[in-house]
């Protein structure tokens, strides 16, 4: 049984990675329905929280059906992160996660996210302050290092464990790689098998199929796997991996009825949480992913991303259901 603090996650948990503009409550709802064991909010700016910025505060919204769930914070200033940790703690998540892995320019070049891999003492000091101000488990997500010449995640893992973090998720790329090339899980496996390390180690990067998940589990011995991009438009990946682990066989892929039903639920959650205009607008980024592999889908996609009417969107989804009912036009 893998545990983070007192949170029991099963024998080999599958985690939904925190993804900006993706892993909001509507998306988390469909991933939870389809087997995600632990999820995180989108990453939240510590500066935004302490300034009470509406976008940052809204990201604190969590719901009981999502539990267990962690609030993820990022920032470059220790005092701001400490105060943001207090605010996050008051929102009553199951854990607080710190982002030391985001590689994007407007985060890393401002001294936050993966930039802290260049200043491990500051990372340790920042993490220690958050551990001190909460009774919740504190976890961290990071990368192998800043670049190929500074892969320092082993030092990071040992020092952060020593000051009290209770789990570590590692993306198998450096900051310099961004999301290019292939993830290298070798160091992740070494950290998991390091006798100094006793906390759960979760691997992240390039897991996009049940077969690959099994290979990563069996080869590197991690305690669980964090899945990000492969879940976008395909939340079924969590249960498909679990089915494969249990039976050794691939579950049948979702048919068009399942895809449409899940898309409708995602849309409904988006409307409930964000309101009509924003809910419709922000759902547009997901349609093409739900129906990836559908032949001659361009016209339907254009209709979906240009409609502001819920009834019209549902009518288009009805058309898709009929058009692709025999599945012959779906390539998976």
Would you kindly state where each structural domain of the chain is located, as residue ranges?
3-247, 256-323
What 8-state DSSP symbol labels residue 332?
-
The pLDDT-based confidence of 328 (bands split at 50, 70, 90) is low
Read off the pLDDT of each residue in 294-320 and give the average, rounded to a whole number: 94
Span 139-162, pLDDT tens digits:
999 999 999 898 999 999 999 999
In the set 31, 102, 109, 263, the catalytic residue is 102
* Crossing angle for the helix pair 256-274 and 276-290, to the nearest 10 degrees: 160
Tell me the C-alpha distance between 240 and 152, whole Å. Answer: 34
Q: Is 166 exposed, middle or buried (0-12, 13-18, 19+ CB in 10 A)?
A: buried
- Cβ–Cβ under 8 Å, residues 167 and 131: no
Span 212-271, pLDDT tens digits:
999 999 999 999 999 999 999 999 999 999 999 999 999 999 999 999 999 999 999 999
Length reported for the chain: 332
Read off the pLDDT of each residue in 267-283 and give the average, rounded to a whole number: 94
3-class SS of residue 222: coil
Q: Decide if pLDDT at 109 tops 80.
A: no
Instruction: Report pLDDT for 330.
Output: 61
Pair of tokens at residue 322: 């009929």
CATH ID of 256-323, from 3.30.70, 2.40.160, 1.10.1200, 1.10.12? 1.10.1200
Superfamily of segment(s) 3-247: Aldolase class I (3.20.20.70)
Q: Is 102 among the catalytic positions?
A: yes
Tell me the C-alpha distance between 326 and 321, whole Å. Answer: 9
């Amino acid at each position: 049984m893998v545990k983070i603090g007192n949170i029991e996650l099963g024998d080999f948990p599958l985690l939904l990675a925190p993804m900006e503009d993706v892993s909001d409550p509507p998306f988390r709802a469909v991933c939870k329905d389809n087997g995600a064991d632990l999820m995180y909010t989108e990453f939240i700016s510590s500066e935004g929280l302490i300034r009470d910025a509406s976008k940052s505060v809204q990201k604190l919204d969590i719901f009981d059906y999502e539990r267990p769930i962690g609030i993820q914070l990022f920032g470059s200033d220790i005092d701001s992160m400490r105060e943001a940790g207090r605010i996050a703690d008051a929102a009553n998540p199951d854990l607080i996660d710190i982002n030391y892995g985001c590689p994007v320019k407007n985060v890393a070049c401002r001294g936050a996210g993966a930039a802290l891999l260049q200043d491990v003492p500051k990372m340790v000091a920042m993490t220690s302050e958050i551990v001190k101000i909460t009774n919740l488990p504190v976890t961290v997500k990071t990368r192998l290092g800043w670049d190929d010449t500074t892969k320092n995640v082993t030092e990071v893992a040992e020092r952060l464990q020593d000051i009290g973090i209770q789990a570590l998720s590692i993306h198998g790329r450096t900051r310099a790689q961004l999301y290019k090339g292939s993830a290298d899980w070798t160091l992740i496996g070494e950290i998991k098998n390091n006798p100094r390390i006793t906390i759960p180690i979760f691997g992240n990067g390039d897991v996009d199929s049940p077969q690959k998940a099994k290979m990563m589990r069996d080869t590197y011995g991690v305690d669980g796997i964090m899945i990000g991009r492969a879940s976008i438009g395909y939340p079924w990946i969590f249960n498909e991996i679990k089915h494969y682990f249990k039976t050794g066989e691939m579950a049948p892929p979702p048919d068009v009825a399942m895809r449409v039903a899940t898309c409708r639920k995602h849309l409904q959650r988006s409307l409930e949480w964000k309101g009509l205009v924003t809910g419709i607008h922000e759902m547009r980024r997901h349609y093409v992913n739900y129906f990836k592999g559908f032949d001659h889908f361009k016209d339907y996609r254009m209709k979906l991303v240009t409609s502001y009417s819920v009834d019209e969107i549902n009518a288009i989804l009805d058309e898709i259901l009929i058009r692709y009912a025999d599945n012959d036009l779906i390539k998976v």
